[in-house]
Amino acid sequence: MKISSIPQLYRNVNRVREVVGVLIKYGLADWLSHVDIAFLRDLLKDQGGERLARQGRETRIRLALAELGPTFIKLGQILSTRPDLVGVSLADELRQLQSNTPADPTEAIRAIIEGELDCPLAEVFSDFDDVPLASASIGQVHRARLRCGTMVAVKVQHEGVREKIRVDVEILAGFAELVDQLPEFKNYRPKAVVDEFRRTIHHELDFSRELRHAQQFARNLAELPGVHIPRVFPDCSTSRVLTMEYLAGIKLADSDRLRAAGYDLQDLARRGADLYLHMIFIDGLYHADPHPGNVLVLDGAVIGLLDFGMVGQIDEQLREEFEEALFAIITRDAAALASVITRLGAVPPNLDRSALSVEVSDFVAHYTSQRLDDLNLSEALNEMTELIRRYQITLPARIAMLLKMLVMLEGTGRHLQPDFNLVEVIAPYQSRLAWARRSPARMLRKYRRIYTELEHLMRILPGGLIEIVEQVQSGKFDIHLDHRGLEPSVNRLVLGMLSSALFLGSSLMLSRDVGPVLGGRWCPWFLDGTSLPGLLGIVLAFMLGLRLIRAINKSGHLDRK
């Protein structure tokens, strides 16, 4: 346990007690799920009365996060975009997390808006609906009408939500410090996950970022027909209040209403997928939450996007790597895919590259037997993510989010059209992107970037070489070696030498009857006259020897050739 984690937990002891109580309940349910006695398995129930021990482990994790409240729900939603860390099955389960936070009282919401805009509500809105359209973990949305007559949706942060999230993030950081040293949690990288969550939640709490994202999307997609991004109103928005155009349409999730309204669902699925691929491959800025509830179909089959809080951005170099990985899957190029995976991700020092190459080849061979129009891209991406996770390769957050977004995109397309295939939509981009990668403008940018990096290297290289030569001449040049995994071996070696020395020394004390010696009426006959220090030393050496044998045997290295 690290000392630095204690203040974070102590400052919020009441909330910590609540969190620990929920975790214990669901952890106990996990243990009870393996018990065959029926009445014991039915002891624990969730808030809805469901028997916890009869639920799967992934379901119990989702229920625990939902019971812990908005911050943990948001954590689960963010982890659902990282199947490379938590696994595909848990990520899919966490996608079901929905935050239906109770709405704040009307007086509190009006006070927040007036305080943020620094004027009475009536000066901005001619009409304001006190009943919210929706209420989520961070804020709630109200319909209103500006003084100019425009219908708008006003997103307002919940009262005190920043402080609640700050407390919960502090608790998560404290827990991450505690469990980061446990071997069973190493693959999940708890400290890195909490740091990423802190950055993400901090961005989502700033509504001015969402406003800028909406403006950027409107500029990027202005020339694309059949797409509408809601207009935002900066004069009526702050970091806690966001005012944007109200869009009236049918949510993509409501396929029955769309079909009844006469819309062509196959066309909507294809145009929606094409819109997202344009954002990824052309703009480099994409809407990262394409579930059917965030996409509206407006009059004239126009596609409208909502909620720009979760946005993905990739630079040109990262986009090139991702394009290569995606097309390696489509073209069944195993060598290229293995190369891209190891270049993109942070690989562990003991990575078995030959085994990885074999598994990638098997993965590609499996999909080679399928026709291109039958290739299920989301299934292929999920399988590749599990492969990456097995080898403890950590993908950049932006790439992991992009992979998950493509899986969700194909799922949304299949929601509208069961035989929808994202590969068919991507195929036209393949030749276009192949040409774009070899275009003079893009090659010029690439060479300019390489030239800048080489120029920087040449600028610092002479000084670095001079410094090394001076250190060698003065005898101050040191080479520091990091022996990964050597510490346990050294500890066992020292423990073995210590127990051996203790055994030999104690044997000498026993043979020379070094006092004090055992004796008297209560002393067993076979210990009469035995050196007490020697006997204690022998017992301690024996215990240390057993401890050493157990440690070696537990590591699996006792009889390995």
Burial of 544 by CB count in 10 Å (0-12 exposed, 13-18 middle, 19+ buried)? middle
CA distance linking residue 92 with residue 392, whole number of Å: 20
Average pLDDT, the chain: 78
pLDDT surpassing 70 at residue 17: yes
**523 and 386: one domain?**
no
Q: What angle do CA 30, 57, 10 make, to 5 degrees?
A: 65
Higher-scoring residue by pLDDT: 29, 86: 86
Residue 186's pLDDT is what?
64
pLDDT surpassing 80 at residue 501: yes
Residue 43's pLDDT is what?
47
Domain assignment present for 124: no
Burial of 380 by CB count in 10 Å (0-12 exposed, 13-18 middle, 19+ buried)? buried
Residue 232's pLDDT is what?
95
**345 and 325: one domain?**
yes
**366 and 424: one domain?**
yes
Residue 40's pLDDT is what?
41
| CB-side neighbour CA atoms (13 Å) of 411 | 19
Burial of 185 by CB count in 10 Å (0-12 exposed, 13-18 middle, 19+ buried)? middle
Domain assignment present for 212: no
**182 and 288: one domain?**
no
pLDDT surpassing 60 at residue 4: no
Among 253-262, 345-354, 423-432, the least confident range: 423-432
3-state secondary structure string, 489-514?
Answer: HHHHHHHHHHHHHHHHHHHHHHHCCC
Look-up of token digits 């404290």: 174
Across 111-115, 132-136, 201-205, 373-377, the highest mean pLDDT is recorded for 111-115
Query: Residue 329: which domain range?
Result: 253-438
pLDDT surpassing 90 at residue 509: no
Domain assignment present for 269: yes
Among 59-68, 221-230, 477-486, 514-523, the least confident range: 477-486
Look-up of token digits 């980061």: 180
CA dihedral angle for residue 436, residue 438, residue 440, residue 443, rounded to 10 degrees: 110
Average pLDDT over residues 225-252: 92
**381 and 526: one domain?**
no
SS3 44: coil
pLDDT tens by residue, 528-550: 777 888 888 888 888 888 888 87
Q: Which of 202, 217, 233 is the last residue of a domain?
A: 202
Is the pTM above the cut of 0.75? no
User: What domain count does the chain have?
Assistant: 4
Domain assignment present for 151: no
Residue 1's pLDDT is what?
42
Per cent of the chain over pLDDT 70 is 81
Domain assignment present for 537: yes
Structure tokens at 134: 């929706």
pLDDT surpassing 60 at residue 215: yes
Domain assignment present for 406: yes
What residues are labeled active site?
289
**496 and 473: one domain?**
no
**271 and 412: one domain?**
yes
Pick from 120, 112, 164, 170: which is nearest to 142 by CA? 112
Residue 427's pLDDT is what?
73
pLDDT tens by residue, 303-355: 999 888 888 887 777 777 777 777 776 677 777 778 887 887 777 777 787 88
**507 and 415: one domain?**
no
Contact 425, 373 (CB under 8 A): no
**399 and 454: one domain?**
no
Domain assignment present for 432: yes
pLDDT tens by residue, 193-214: 788 788 888 888 899 999 999 9
162-166 contacts: CB < 8 A, separation 24 or more? 162/205, 164/69, 164/70, 164/71, 165/70, 165/71, 165/201, 165/205
**319 and 422: one domain?**
yes
Domain assignment present for 117: no
pLDDT surpassing 50 at residue 256: yes
Residue type, 444: L
Residue 100's pLDDT is what?
64
Structure tokens at 214: 């909406």
**347 and 473: one domain?**
no
Number of H helices, E strands in the chain: 23, 11
pLDDT surpassing 90 at residue 440: no
Higher-scoring residue by pLDDT: 515, 371: 515
pLDDT surpassing 90 at residue 245: yes
Average pLDDT over residues 165-184: 78
**361 and 301: one domain?**
yes
pLDDT tens by residue, 389-415: 888 787 777 777 787 778 878 888 888
Q: Is the dihedral of CA 45, 46, 48, 50 positive or negative?
A: negative
114 membership: H or E segment, kind and range? helix 106-117
Residue 476's pLDDT is what?
77
Per cent of the chain over pLDDT 90 is 16
Q: Which of 426, 456, 477 is the last residue of a domain?
A: 477
